[in-house]
Structures are given as C-alpha cells and as structure tokens.
Structure 1
Amino acid sequence: MTKRKYLATVLIGLMTVSLTLAGCSTSKPVSSDASQKPVSSGAPEIKKEAQTLAKKEGNKLTIAVADNFISMDPHDTNDTLSGSAQATMFEGLLGFDKDMKMIPVLAESYEASADAKVFTFKLRKGVKFHDGTPFNADAAKANFDRVSNPDNKLKRYSLFALIVKTEAVDEYTFRVTLKEPFGAMLNNFAHPAARIISPKALATYGKDVSKHPIGTGPFKFVEWDPSDHLMVEKNPDYWQKGLPKVDGIKFKPVPENGSRVAMLQTGEVDFIYPFPSDQAQAISGKDGIVVENKPSIIARYVAMNTTKKPFNDVRVRQAINYAINKEAFLKVVFRGYGSVLDSIIPPGLQFYSKQTPYAYNLEKAKQLLKEAGYENGFETQIWGANNSTAMKAMEFLQQQLAQVGIKVKVVPMESGTLSSKIWNVKDPKDAEIELYYGGWSSSTGDADWGIRPLLAGESVPPKSYNTAYYTNEKADQLISAGLNTADPEKRKATYAEVQKMIWQDAPWAGLIVEDTLAGRKNYLDGVYLIPDGALSVKEAEIKH
C-alpha cells in the first residue's frame, strides 16, 4: 500500500488538527472537511500594530521559557518543553510542520503494509550526526531497538511497545514490524520521542546520554546548566541547505511572568513563551514586541489520586468537577484565550467525542459530598509547577473548592522536583500525590496518545503519566481495542465509548484547552509554536 493511500485512510484525523489553526480553539468538534472554518474562542483580538524594526546586535537568539528543562534524551522525556529544546539538536524519520501535518524528515519516503503492521522507510543519504558518524538504517535500528525495549525503562516505551522486529534492509532502507496492526503508528514515528540519537553517543554515554545530546539537527549542543540555561550553536554541516540562519540559541528558564516580559521589553531576550495572557493586550505593539496567539491541543486538568481517600469515591470526584467554574477559570487565569475542555481529549485530536460538561453547580457538589460522607468537606493539597500561571491556576482552584468546604493547600514545585516526586514512585501505594494541576498535548495528533499515557491502568508512574492512578478494566479493554485496529470507524466508536466512560468516572476535573501565546521582537521571524505547544526554531531568522 502506498504512503498516499495509507495516509488517506488512517491519518484523516491529522486534518482536524490543522483545521483549528485558522482561528482560535473551539469546544465543538471539527470535521475532517477542509472547507470548515473553526469557531473562535471569543478571546480578545491581540493588536498587530505596525512598528519600527527594533534593533538587534549579533546573530544569536535568547529565548526565555517558563520552566526548567528536565531531560535531553528524547526517548526518556515526557514534557513538551524539553522536547522543544531537543528539536534543535535531534530529528526523526518523520515530523510535523507548523500545522501539524506529517512530513518526511530523515526519511525521504515511507510505506505501510495493507494490514498496518509493516512500515518501510527510505532514508535520506549524506546526513551525519554532530559527532561525524553517518546516519543510516543501522542508526535507526539502534534507536528503535532502544526505545522499544521494556528493560530500558524509558518513559516513551509505550509509544513503541508494539514493535516486534526492526531491520536494516540495506544501508538506507529501514523496516519496522509490529506485533499487531496499529492504524496510527505513523503518527508515533512522527512524535518527538522518535527522534534519532547518535548510536556512538548511545554506546559511549549509556544512561548519561541526556547530558551529551548528539543528533543530526540544525544546532549542536554546547552546554546545559539545568538551573540557568541551555545553549546550542549552529551546525555548519546541516543537511538542509540554507539552514539554520542564526548562529546560536540560549534558552533561559524564567518562571515569573513579569520577569519574562521585562526581559523581552529591554531586549535581553528575543522571544518568550508562554506569554502571560493578562498582559498580551497591553504589551503587543509596543517596544518592538509582537504577541501572537494560536489554538492548541493542550488540555489543562486536575488529576485526583483515585487510590486515596476521599478521591477513591466517584461522588467526590464528580463533586469537584461541579464545584469548579471552568468558564471563570478560562477568563481569570487565561483571559479567555482558549476553550472549556468538554472531553478527556481536546477537539483537535483524531476521534474526539464531545461529552456533557459538568456544569458549575455548588449545590450539586455539596449534595454529592454529603452522600459520600464529606458534608463538612476535607483537607487536601494540590501539586503543580512554580511558574506564575500555574500558581495563579492553583490559587483559583483553591478558592473554588473552598466554597464547598474543601480546604486545599497549594504546593508549587520547580519542574525537576515535581518530576522527581511523580516519577520516583515505584509502588502506587507510596504515592504522595493527591491533586495535581497539569497539562498534556498529544504530539501524535491521535486519540490514543491523548488517553493511554494518562488514563490507562498500565500507565501509572513510573511507567507513564497516569497521575490519577486511575484503573478501569473496561476502559483498558477499550483503549487496547482502539490501539489494535487500523479501521477508522472501529477506532472512532471505541474511543467515543472510552471517552464517555472515563468522563463519567471523573478521575480528572477537566478544565480548558488553552491557546498558545508567545511574544517576540519584530526583527525575529521563523520561530513559532505548533498546536501541541512545542516550539520550532529551525527557521529562525533575524532581520536587520
């Protein structure tokens, strides 16, 4: 079966992702009809006033981000932010463009068998890793053997667990065979976790390869101080002629919103993300700054540890859903830039199915708490990041839940500490987490990766990101059924059923789908955020 015919059958959902880019996020399903216009979220339009070109010395960029990077190993990374930095140094066989349409990268072409079990890639010739070793089928095989081996205990293993055999057919032909058919496997090959690491680096550094990132990308690793900065420099031997156009990039973690904005205003940095939504209108169009918002597939939610009292009672979980005014959350925390989440996955993902929202109803919440034996409420704590927006979100949730007698202690943490607290748990009964404010984007564009890592019983930490420790045998069966068929109609029906089931079980309080907001100096082009919240700097260019 040819690449084109195969994509037309099993990757139709990627169209829904790209469609949302024409406007703001929508809480309504987007059809795969390319003529359909997305519905605006109703957020205020950001000013795009003409300005004199700001001055810039040199040809290097500085980018301020909200959190610290956690890992530079794409096979062992669960956060989109780290993946954005990795994208400067690593590339995969496939990838996504700025509209999340699949594109070949290190593979020039690819084919899938009719049963969606065998995938063959024709690789790009003449590409070298930053250490001078050649990229070829052996390199691809070494990487997929690594990430698909459960003994390596890599965070992205579940994306590639179906791989049963890899073959270097010849120097530039690579083939993968799956245990079972999986219609969305090409999406997984385009995921950031499928980026290729130098086999020499893997052999030399082993588990420490995260500190020595060596790929084929447009930039080469220079240094990484996790608490202060990460630096990359131009790869003069990059295979794509004419790129990169800047000499280097420094990434700086700056958790406080006001500090990031001030650094952009003074020119200390050239680009910041996320841009604080409460300052977007006031700042855009001044000091050579342009603020841009785009719809995304980033879902924000509160996970509840379903193994701990009182969250092991579905009535308590549903009460929390009723006690939170999601429209107010969107307006107060994100200034309206986004839409209310009305399923366990956002509308931009393939096989999204809209659910009946939990309306803001304090009396209903109190009634459910009373039925569960918590008429006077209870005390708990919520974990989350220590950046300004996350803290504002948790404080809002704290105030909302106080109205029904739930006293919430806000516990913000630096990203490395938070990651450690979540991932170092070996046994669910030892998990300290109670409530967790987080976000997720499916970088495959498919429902599977919006559900399985977060809500499958097999995905509890440290295996994956099921911070609710949610287990439902029937839901797990449905998730597996959606994984093991290439029939789009069967997958659609299966995922609709599992979304309804989990929505009613309420291991989360679903909140919003946020817009991406970024600020840049007006001399900077070619830097943008894609719908999963990842940053692309490959085409960055400074105009003088």
Structure 2
Amino acid sequence: MKDTRHTGRIAWLSRRQYVRGVAGSALAVALAGCQGDGGEDDGGDGGAQQPEETTADSEDTATDTDDTEATTDGSITFAQAKSPVEFDPVVLNDVPSAEVAMLVFDSLYTYDEGTNLVPQIAADMPEVERGAQRWIVPIRTDATFQNGDPVTAEDVAYSFRAPVEEETENAGEFNMIDSVEVVDESTVQFDLQFQFGAFDSYLPWEIVDKSVRESDRDAYNTSSPVGAGPFTFDDWQEGEYVRLSRWDDYWGEPLPNLAEIEFVPVEEPTTRITTLRTGENDVVKNIPPANWETVENMGEASIESVLGTSYFYLAFNCNEGPTADPEVREAIDYAFSMDDAVGQYVEPTGERQYAPVPRAISEDWEFPVEEWQQIPHEPDLDRAKSLLDDNDSVPDDWQPRIIVPPDDKREQIGVSVSNGLSEAGYDATVQRLDWGAFLEQYVTGSADDYNMFTLGWAGSPDPDTFMYFLFAHDQIGTNNGTYYRNESMNEQIMNARQSNDDEQRREWYVDAIQTVLEDRVHLPAYNIKNSFGVRSHVSDFRAHPVDQFSIVSAYNNVSVQ
C-alpha cells in the first residue's frame, strides 16, 4: 500500500468547525471533521487524488505560465464562502479562518502537491520508536517568526500542548498524546498513550510563537497574530476583508511572488461567480453545480479543482424511533436512488461515493470498493413499502423527520429520500436548519428532533481520521449523531487505531466498514472537489486535495500577469 497517511490543518480543523463550515474543515467537536462551508458550499474537503488528476484544462487554464512572465509585486482578491472569525491556530475552528492562517503560520509538516508529508519547520521526517508510541521530530534551526524570534523546540511543543491544556475545540485532535517534551534546542519528542501508526496524520500543525501568544492571547487571535509563514497579517474587518502582505524576510523558500492578498467573504454562491466574471475577485471558492459550465465557458477565467479528502452521507438515528431498526433503514435504502440524486444534484462538483472513506483512501489501502458498491439497493418502492408496513416499530402515520444543514446539495439528498418515502406511503419532512440549530439537534439522539440527517466529514488520507471520529463508541457516545452501537465494529476500529501494522489495520477496517454499510448506519453519498474559479491573469494557482489550495510552495508560486 502506498504510504499517504497524512493530513493538513484544513482537513482536520476541529470537528465542529468542519461541520459548520465553517467544515470547509472538518475539525470540530466530536464533529471532528464535519464538513460544510455554509450556503451551497461544502468546504472542499475532498478525496486525496494526485495532482495530475486536477480538472483544470492543461492548455488554457489560469495556471498556465508558458507564454507570460510572472511579476513579483502583484496582488489578488480571493472570495471566500464565509468571513474568518479568528486566526490563532490553537483555538481557531473554522475553515475560512484556517485558509488565512495557513499563510501566516508555517506548520511542523506540510504536503507535496499530492498527499505525501514533507517537512516544513521540521528538519526531517520523524524518527519512530517503540512501535509508533514515540515520535521524535528534529526542528530546523533557521526558522524564524515574523518578529525576528527564532522558532524553538519549545514553541513546537507548546503549539501541540496548548489546545489540550486550554481545552479548546481542537483538543480532541491530540487525545492520543501522553506528553510532548523538548529533548534539546532542536528536538521534540512525542510520547503517545498507545502505539499509533496514523500519528503522522496529526503532525501538520501550525506553530505559534509562545512568548508573543502568552503575552496577549486575545490580540494574538484577532489583531496581531505572529507566525513563521510567508505572509504577515495586516488588517481584518469581520464580514468585510482580511489583508495579508508578503513577508520579504521570509526564512523559507520560495519567497512569494504575490505582494498582497485580500480575502473577502461572498456567501451567496451565484454572487461569487458573478464577481469572478466581472473581475471584482480574482479567485472564488467552491463552484456550485449549476454554475460549473458557466465558469468553464468564461473566456477570462477557468476552473481549478481536485477531489478532496471528504465524505458526505445520509445518517440515521439509531438511538430511538423507527430508524433504530436496521430493517427500517434498509427499507429507506430501497425507497430512493442515491446514484440518481448524486448525478442530478452534485455532479460535476463531486462524485458518487460508496464507502465512509474517500476513493483515494480506498485505492491506497486496496479496499474492496467493488464489493461495497453492491450493498446499496436498487430502488424498489414495493419492497420499501412492504418492509415499512410490516414492521411493528413503524406507526401507520409515521412522518419521518430529516434535518439538513444550510447547503443545497445536502438538502437535495434529503429531498430525494423524502420523495421516495412519500411514494411508499410515508410523508417525510425535510427541514433545512442554520448551522447553530442543526448542530444542537443532530446529536440529541431524540426521534422528535430527527430520524435522519445529512452531513459531511473531512479527514486525512488515513482511514483513522474517518472511522474513529465517525463510528467509535467513545465519540461522546453519539457516534456523530447516529448513536450506533456495535461492540465488534468498535473493537476493530480501536484495534486499528492502536496499531502500527498497516496490513492488520486494513483487515480491521475492511471488516468495520462492511459492518456499517450492511447495517446502513450511513448511506454514503458523495465526495466533493475542492474547486476554484480563477481569472486568466492569475498564474500557478493550485487546488490541493487536503489543504484545499496552495498560494506558494515547493511546487507552485502564484503570480499575476
């Protein structure tokens, strides 16, 4: 199997952040990874396909630099799906904020143009001891913060300790760490509570300046963040803009071509596309399905996209109510076609998914997806009606309640289910909730609040970042809203989490995934592309499978013509 067990800040922001979109970065509560940028946007957490699989045309894409000369004093305006709200990596828990912070702060590790981990502030790959229970990381001695302070091993250790010690929403990302110790000025040692082969998926974490942050945490979060990244923080007006400037003394390579970047929130998807066409914005995030062809046909812009490491699904309340019965869940599977729903409402912005992990993970781990693809039923309304009518747990007047977040694609999945159930004789209701109300309801386990819900998750190219956070029993007891209990499945997930043997881990994951698919805890739906509209004068902008996009890196450097 190919070793792609890595994740990025956007891919694992805390669970709650991903859920609410900001789930433009799935890191967040036990929602550890729930995804969604609000509105029609899905956070772009998508499958970890390789960069050559991007969908921007190679001959006329906005990233083609063959016939033009890059400038080193340009600026771009980037339309986000929502406004950032904070910038301190220790506490920030939403995708728009993370999109800005990743340019101000450098991480311990980052990615190549695909999903392979590469050192950034780390000097080399970690040394792994004690069967993956101890990880020793060498630190570069030339890395500096934007105020001139050197990046020290203590800054690195502090950056990993602080989320847990301060009990931030990101603390759950590091619950496997027993201690983080400074071995010497250029070495940090992580000792874990158990052998954990997937720990490298948690090492791409941004490093903060301990002394500056401790002097005024509030200022560090909202007005004067100091990082070691290639851009400095200039100004922020919530709901209006964030302005960054190139740090000309950046310690790393390459120095950005861009002198300035302005991020502006444009929440309505069609309006974002309009600003791309008029040139008001140079880059816009998340192309809706209805506007995909429009952007493709723009002479002055093109689409840059790649499948992200994400997973969207219909989930059932297995705690109480009729959907706690697996036969009822099977009947609902018979009542509609997920293939048709995804084809009609998601493509070409994403692709059908048949497992609770993205296609790239299934390919890298050689999971039996072709077998799993046979588990969903073809639509059969007579069969659905028979299963429901004959089930004593289903009242004759049952009106299933489906709740969905404020996202058109996920709402349409819910409507497809509702239409099928109505044809089977059961009037289902679909309620679109704002993120606050949705996040409160979908974890109650009450059949009065929901029988089904639609959500998304973003993780890294390791199955642990999906299976553990979505299905393990210790996720605040809710299993992210399903309350599904299966001791054998849980043991397999936890065995895989506490192992450094990838072949054995694969066997456990195959069995666990088979169980959740056959029991229809979720009905997998789709994976979303990280997609961007890019004006033709912007060169070398890249979509990224984990980090969503790249402005400057070892493999690209955005400029304007």
TM-score of the two chains, using structure 1 as the length reference: 0.81
> 1:74 aligns to what SS in structure 2?
coil
Aligned counterpart, 2:378: 360
- Aligned counterpart, 1:34: none
1:108 is displaced (CA, Å) by 1.2
Q: Secondary structure at the match of 2:298?
A: coil
Among residues 136, 145, 153, which one is paired with 1:137 in the alignment? 153
- d(CA) in 2 for partners of 1:220 and 1:178? 34
Change in 2 beyond 3 A, CA 1:318/1:281: same
- 1:484 is displaced (CA, Å) by 0.9
**Residue 322 in structure 1 maps to residue 334 in structure 2:** yes
The 3-state SS of whatever aligns with 1:107 is coil
The answer to whether the Cα contact below 8 Å between 1:76 and 1:154 also exists between their aligned partners in 2 is: yes
> Aligned to 2:119, which of 101, 104, 110?
104
Q: C-alpha displacement at 1:209, in angstroms?
A: 5.2
Is the CA contact 2:312–2:456 (under 8 Å) kept in the aligned structure 1?
A: yes
Within the candidate set 438, 445, 455, 1:438 is matched to 455
Q: Following the alignment from structure 2 to structure 1, what is the Cα–Cα distance between the partners of residues 238 and 329?
A: 36
- 540 and 20 in structure 1: CA distance in 2 versus 1, 3 angstrom threshold: closer
| Residues 241-256 of structure 1: pairs in structure 2 closer than 5 A | 241-256=253-268
1:11 aligns with 2:26: no
Tell me how far 1:401 sits from its aligned partner.
4.4
What SS does the aligned partner of 2:330 have? helix
- 1:179 is aligned to 193
TM-score by length of 2: 0.79
Structure-2 change in CA distance of 1:93 and 1:319 (3 Å): same
Q: Distance in 2 between matches of 1:359 and 1:430?
A: 25
Distance 1:70 1:342 in 2: 35
Number of aligned residues: 503
- SS state of the match for residue 332, structure 1? helix
User: Using the alignment, how far apart are the partners of 1:398 and 1:229 within structure 2?
Assistant: 40
Aligned to 1:449: 465
Q: Does residue 211 in structure 1 map to residue 226 in structure 2? A: no
**Alpha-carbon distance between aligned partners in 1 of 2:256 and 2:291, rounded to the nearest angstrom:** 31
**Contact 1:321–1:510 (Cα < 8 Å) also in 2:** no
Give the distance between the partners of 1:46 and 1:266, measured in 2 at CA: 21
Q: What is the CA distance between 1:433 and its match in structure 2? A: 5.7
Take 1:329 and 1:297, find their aligned partners in 2: how far apart are those partners? 21
Mapped contact 2:104–2:230 kept (Cα < 8 A): yes
- Residue pair 1:326, 1:512 contacting (<8 A) in 2 also: no
SS of the equivalent of 1:459 reads coil
C-alpha RMSD of matched pairs (Å)? 3.5
2:495 to 476, 481, 487: 481
- Equivalent position SS for 1:410: strand
5 Å-filtered alignment, 1:236-315, equals: 236-315=248-327
Check whether the contact 1:456–1:466 (CA below 8 A) recurs between aligned residues.
Answer: no
Quick one: distance in 1 between partners of 2:61 and 2:534? Answer: 14
Question: Matches of 1:201 and 1:419 in 2, distance apart?
Answer: 37
What's the offset of the Cα at 1:259? 0.6
CA–CA distance in structure 2, aligned partners of residues 442 and 271 of structure 1: 25
Q: Structure 1 536/375 Cα, relative in aligned 2: closer, same or farther at 3 Å?
A: farther
CA drift of 1:175 comes to: 1.2
Q: CA deviation at 1:345?
A: 1.2
- The aligned residue for residue 206 of structure 2 is 195
Taking a change above 3 Å as real, the CA distance of residues 322 and 50 of structure 1, as seen in their structure-2 partners, is: same
Q: Given that residues 381 and 435 in structure 1 are in contact (C-alpha distance below 8 angstroms), is that contact kept between their aligned partners in structure 2? A: yes
The Cα of 1:437 is off from its aligned counterpart by: 2.4
Q: 2:169 is matched with which residue: 149, 155, 177?
A: 155
Q: State which of 509, 512, 529 in structure 2 corresponds to 1:498.
A: 512
Pair 1:507-2:518 in alignment: no
For the 8 Å contact 1:87–1:536, the answer to whether it is kept is no
1:117 is aligned, of 133, 137, 142, to 133
Letter of the structure 2 residue corresponding to residue 472 of structure 1: N
What is aligned with 1:528? 542
| SS of residue in 2 equivalent to 1:293 | strand
